[in-house]
A and B are shown apart, each in its own frame.
Chain A
Amino acid sequence: MILKLSLNGRPISADIPADQSLLDFLRAQGCYSVKRGCETSNCGLCTVWLDGAPVLSCNMPAVRAMGRSVTTLEGVRAQAEEFGGYLADQGGDQCGFCNPGLIMNVLAMERELTDPTEADIDEYLAGNLCRCTGFVSQKRAILAWLKRGDKE
């Protein structure tokens, strides 16, 4: 079937199998930042935005994105670079495999929450697993990044 959507701001039209997941579709489109870490929809690695809201692309059929706007890390490179610098300053990038899903959710969190507490942050990002960092360096990075405006 023909799927039409906006991918990172570009109109896309593609002939896809009806049962293709959004994750597989996005990787087929060259969006390699989108990773798979589980089959149970609870690792967060495949997080992308659908009309600006974070979703797990592994458990969503690509056709659900028909006529809608999908954003992957490739589409928010400048913001990823900015937050990623804070993450790297803590050594929190580590193996990097969970970074894209985490960063998509961190960027969405900043839009969605006003002055989040540490508990709010943990709650919002609870679905983003990471096996390298133990999450602590990620939190240091997020807190420093959220305060970045204060210095200016």
Chain B
Amino acid sequence: MKPVSELRVVNQPIRKKDYHALVTGQPVYTEDLAPRDCLVVKLLRSPHASALVKEIDVTRAKKVPGVACVLTWRDVPQLRYTQAGQSYPEGSPYDRYILDRRLRYVGDPVAIVAAESADAAERAIRLIKVTYEVQEPVLDFRTALDHPNIVHPEEDWKILYEQGSQVERNLICHEESADGDVEAVLADCDAVVEQTYHTVSDNQAMMETFRAYSYLDAYGRLNIVPSTQIAFHVRRIIANALGIPKSKVRVIRPRIGGGFGAKQTVEAEPYPAIVTWLTGRPAMIVYDREETTTCGCPRHEMEISIRICANRDGHIRAIHMHTLSNGGAYGEHSTTTVGLSGHKAISLYGALEAYRFDADVVYTNLQPAGAFRGFGATQGIFALESAVDELAHRLSLDPAWIRERNQVRQGQVMPSYFGEVNTSCTLDRCLERVKEMIGWGEKYPRRTLPNGHIRAVGLAMAMQGSAISGIDVGGATLKLGDEGFVNLLIGAADMGTGCDTTLAQIAAEALELDVDKVVTAQVDTDSSPYDSGSYASSTAFLSGGAVYRCALELIEKIKTEACHQKGWRPEDVEYHDALVEHLPTGQTLTLSELAYVAECGGGDVPSCTAHYTCPNSPPPFMAGAAEIDLDPETGKVTVVEYDAVVDCGTPLNPNLARVQTEGGLVQGIGMALTENARYLPSGALIERNLLQYKIPTRLDIGEIHVEFAPSYEEQGPYGAKSIGEIVIDTPCPAIANAVENACGVRIRELPITAEKVWRGMHPELV
């Protein structure tokens, strides 16, 4: 691969290919594209956290004019499946029916109604008569294990491979890993910090809520157009849920109005799909904001206990983390998120003599959790990067210095990261630079303003992965067309990230084409090459790797076809600048000429497909630093400035990488300060809309500065690693650390509300 300085298309800040449609409001999203005669699908949802449907009477509902069907658990296949978008065999338990007689959280679907209009569907829902047998729910994840009430007592619950599940104990999975003798090192250290941290089930709150429509095509196949990150997994999951062959399902992905992991779980798709399958009619469901917030798949709530120790000289020698994770009512992504809370936090520290990580994930009768940007690492990094600051204070050391002393470095083996070698890493430069940007030397720890407010700084480090090693698969197909343009078919999902553009940049770079000559197609499971989908920080690295390999293969095919057309010998030709040159004569054949001849009796029209899977998952790294303003009279914390330096390898498109970072930081600031998820005693969520669930507005964020410190990852396309997830990981610990630096109060339970800070400052009054 070319050095970064010689790249012409990759690493350039070009516009997104779809920008024009997006800024002129073209109808490119699911709801805009649905047939006008779609049935409107609505759900009756459970008012109880745990109940059995004793009787359900839909007679009156069915009589409402315009109602096409009313479905209850009796009408849908009773086949356990998982809605988690993961490579098969999924790690998530098969613990759902489309409609189940047993209801496991407030919002669990009881009945599906499809009607000619929303009014008719809503009227029918009000006329369904249900008798519930209400049961005692499991609402606190700390007491869920061995709780007398079992969330999943059913006999057909199953998991595809052993992960320590004991469903009769409400235990979805259990995990342990260790290296060295943690207890011996803990006993031998000068200082030990032992603390517990708590994060809540934050909501992805993407602007486009869950939605999908479906129809039967001319062949009687079920076509689904969902707002999804995982087209191929949707195909499998819907076929599993409906009990129909995969060949009967086609999934087409339009533009997506944001995902952040929410759309890595199948949420809305099964309901229109079953309606279409049973009635033959096109059908659409659009979740409203309240449904999306209360019946979706938010971040796993976690309680993380840490023991961390160091010598007086600042050498961090051992870390023990235990994570208790709240899976909620169904186990989507439960067994996979929890591991990241340990592996992607502990591995930030490269001088450990021992580590231990163990984890339990439990069922409760609360909204099921799922995938949200950061995927467990965010929770683990909040806990560990808070604990490291507590340890530094215990030893009277500068928290920045203790990180410099202990951070993982390039070339190190990472025992807590599956023994992988840290192949590319500029974490040291990230930390050094972010200290300069925030003015650490002058501002640490605090100063008091004339108005009495306290200004303080705090920082944190983070890592993530680049795709799921050895499991997930990126795919790309390239086809040469007339005039020498190239179709790029991918299975990855551009959910605003711009991967339709960045993947085209990789193809254009390798093929030495103008990026406008690479045409990216939206995902269609009938024609796109297989790809796991866009999640787990995979697209730039894994799908990008597939595009790169595919382009190299295409060049070979182009050369072969040129030799066929011209009678040249393969050893005499070279490909460059979108043409094939015959070196002995200097004759050339342009891609355009080659394509026209190939398309008219020439021979093979060059096209190829490549896939890429990687045996390891090179982590991106970053450092983030916050300056906060704390009002001691109220405890209110405001972010004045947030600075971040990211090592994502080569940024494929610096503009898009920057916006990913800025957006992730602001989501992290929201998670740190304002986004909360609390439950009523009934098990109903309190923060159920955008007035109560407070994502940051542009008035809440302060100054944001982002820089890059690129390493070069040999296994990624043109040196790239991932960027999408890591960027949410630093604000929670950095802001919590700044709060302690400001007023001595350590907040271990997110979000950091004014009330918690004020109470911490006035222990005598509470």
Q: Which residues of chain B from 159 to 216 have any CB-CB distance to chain A below 8 Å in the complex?
A: 204-209
Interface hub of B24, B25, B32 (most chain A Cβ within 10 A): B25
Could you say which residues of chain A place their CB within 8 Å of the CB of B667?
A: 131, 134
Q: Residue on A with the closest CB to B697?
A: A126
Given A72-B25, A84-B19, verify A132-B258 contact (CB < 8 Å).
yes
Whether A16 is near chain B, meaning CB under 8 Å from some CB there, is no
Binds A, one of B267-275, B317-325, B336-344, B658-666: B658-666
Q: How many angstroms between the C-alpha atoms of A130 and B653 in the bound complex?
A: 21
Whether B256 is near chain A, meaning CB under 8 Å from some CB there, is yes
Q: How many angstroms between the C-alpha atoms of A96 and B32 in the bound complex?
A: 13
Given A32-B32, A129-B690, A131-B667, verify A96-B260 contact (CB < 8 Å).
no
Whether B563 is near chain A, meaning CB under 8 Å from some CB there, is no
A39–B689 CB distance below 8 A: yes
Whether A59 is near chain B, meaning CB under 8 Å from some CB there, is no
Given A32-B27, A91-B498, A91-B656, verify A134-B699 contact (CB < 8 Å).
no
Could you say which residues of chain A place their CB within 8 Å of the CB of B704?
A: 134, 136
Partner of A96, one of B23, B204, B691, B697: B23
B690–A40 CB distance below 8 A: yes
Q: Which residues of chain B from 238 to 276 have any CB-CB distance to chain A below 8 Å in the complex?
A: 255-258, 260
Given A80-B25, A89-B15, A134-B664, verify A129-B289 contact (CB < 8 Å).
no
Q: How many angstroms between the C-alpha atoms of A92 and B662 in the bound complex?
A: 10
Whether B547 is near chain A, meaning CB under 8 Å from some CB there, is no
How does the 8 Å CB contact mask read for A70-97 relative to B, with 1 for contact and 0 for none? Answer: 0011100100110111011111111111
A38–B289 CB distance below 8 A: yes
Q: Residue on B with the closest CB to A124?
A: B698
Q: Residue on A with the closest CB to B15?
A: A88
B289–A91 CB distance below 8 A: no
Could you say which residues of chain B place their CB within 8 Å of the CB of A72?
A: 25
Q: How many angstroms between the C-alpha atoms of A137 and B690 in the bound complex?
A: 22
Whether A122 is near chain B, meaning CB under 8 Å from some CB there, is yes
B698–A131 CB distance below 8 A: no
Whether B655 is near chain A, meaning CB under 8 Å from some CB there, is yes
Could you say which residues of chain A place their CB within 8 Å of the CB of B659?
A: 90-92, 94, 132-134, 136-137
A134–B697 CB distance below 8 A: no
Q: Residue on A with the closest CB to B691?
A: A40
Could you say which residues of chain A place their CB within 8 Å of the CB of B701?
A: 134-136
Whether B18 is near chain A, meaning CB under 8 Å from some CB there, is yes
Whether A23 is near chain B, meaning CB under 8 Å from some CB there, is no
Could you say which residues of chain B place their CB within 8 Å of the CB of A122?
A: 698-699
Could you say which residues of chain B place their CB within 8 Å of the CB of A39?
A: 288-290, 689
Q: How many angstroms between the C-alpha atoms of A74 and B26 in the bound complex?
A: 8
Q: How many angstroms between the C-alpha atoms of A42 and B237 in the bound complex?
A: 35
Q: Which residues of chain B from 634 to 664 have any CB-CB distance to chain A below 8 Å in the complex?
A: 653, 655-656, 658-659, 662-664
How does the 8 Å CB contact mask read for A131-145 relative to B, with 1 for contact and 0 for none? Answer: 111111111000000
Q: How many angstroms between the C-alpha atoms of A35 and B288 in the bound complex?
A: 12
How does the 8 Å CB contact mask read for B480-513 relative to A, with 1 for contact and 0 for none? Answer: 0000000000000001111000000000000000
Given A81-B23, A136-B704, verify A45-B656 contact (CB < 8 Å).
no
B695–A129 CB distance below 8 A: yes
Q: How many angstroms between the C-alpha atoms of A72 and B24 in the bound complex?
A: 10
How does the 8 Å CB contact mask read for A113-128 relative to B, with 1 for contact and 0 for none? Answer: 0000000001101111
What class of interface size applies to chain B in its complex with A?
A: 35 or more
Could you say which residues of chain B place their CB within 8 Å of the CB of A88?
A: 15-16, 19-20, 23
Q: How many angstroms between the C-alpha atoms of A84 and B25 in the bound complex?
A: 10
Q: How many angstroms between the C-alpha atoms of A122 and B703 in the bound complex?
A: 12
Whether A103 is near chain B, meaning CB under 8 Å from some CB there, is yes
Whether B21 is near chain A, meaning CB under 8 Å from some CB there, is yes
Whether B94 is near chain A, meaning CB under 8 Å from some CB there, is no
Partner of B25, one of A37, A74, A137: A74
**How close is A29's CB to chain B, nearest CB, in angstroms?**
12
Could you say which residues of chain A place their CB within 8 Å of the CB of B256?
A: 95
Whether B13 is near chain A, meaning CB under 8 Å from some CB there, is yes
**How close is A91's CB to chain B, nearest CB, in angstroms?**
4
Q: Which residues of chain A from 33 to 89 have any CB-CB distance to chain B below 8 Å in the complex?
A: 33-35, 37-40, 42-43, 45, 72-74, 77, 80-81, 83-85, 87-89
A137–B658 CB distance below 8 A: yes
Given A81-B23, A91-B659, verify A45-B207 contact (CB < 8 Å).
yes
A125–B23 CB distance below 8 A: no
Whether B22 is near chain A, meaning CB under 8 Å from some CB there, is yes
**How close is A137's CB to chain B, nearest CB, in angstroms?**
5
Whether B575 is near chain A, meaning CB under 8 Å from some CB there, is no
Could you say which residues of chain B place their CB within 8 Å of the CB of A40?
A: 289, 689-691
Could you say which residues of chain A place their CB within 8 Å of the CB of B664?
A: 134
Whether B718 is near chain A, meaning CB under 8 Å from some CB there, is no
Could you say which residues of chain A place their CB within 8 Å of the CB of B355?
A: none
B25–A132 CB distance below 8 A: no
Partner of A43, one of B28, B663, B666, B690: B690
Given A32-B32, A42-B691, A91-B659, verify A131-B25 contact (CB < 8 Å).
no
B19–A131 CB distance below 8 A: no
**How close is B732's CB to chain A, nearest CB, in angstroms?**
15
**How close is B19's CB to chain A, nearest CB, in angstroms?**
4
Partner of A133, one of B21, B255, B663: B663
Could you say which residues of chain B place their CB within 8 Å of the CB of A92?
A: 659
Whether B232 is near chain A, meaning CB under 8 Å from some CB there, is no
- Beyond the given pairs A80-B25, A96-B496, A135-B666, 17 more chain A to chain B contacts, judged by CB atoms under 8 angstroms and listed by A's residue number, are A39-B290, A45-B207, A81-B23, A84-B24, A87-B23, A94-B659, A95-B22, A96-B28, A97-B29, A97-B206, A99-B22, A99-B25, A103-B25, A133-B659, A134-B664, A134-B666, A136-B704
Q: Footprint of B on A, CB under 8 Å?
A: 32-35, 37-40, 42-43, 45, 72-74, 77, 80-81, 83-85, 87-100, 103, 122-123, 125-139
18 contacts between A and B (CB under 8 A): A40-B289, A43-B690, A84-B24, A88-B15, A88-B20, A89-B655, A91-B13, A93-B19, A94-B258, A95-B255, A96-B23, A100-B25, A122-B699, A129-B207, A129-B695, A134-B662, A134-B665, A134-B667
Closest 10 CB pairs of A and B: A33-B25, A84-B23, A95-B496, A96-B22, A97-B257, A134-B666, A91-B655, A88-B19, A32-B27, A134-B662
Q: Footprint of A on B, CB under 8 Å?
A: 13, 15-16, 18-29, 32, 204-209, 255-258, 260, 288-290, 495-498, 653, 655-656, 658-659, 662-667, 689-691, 695-699, 701, 704
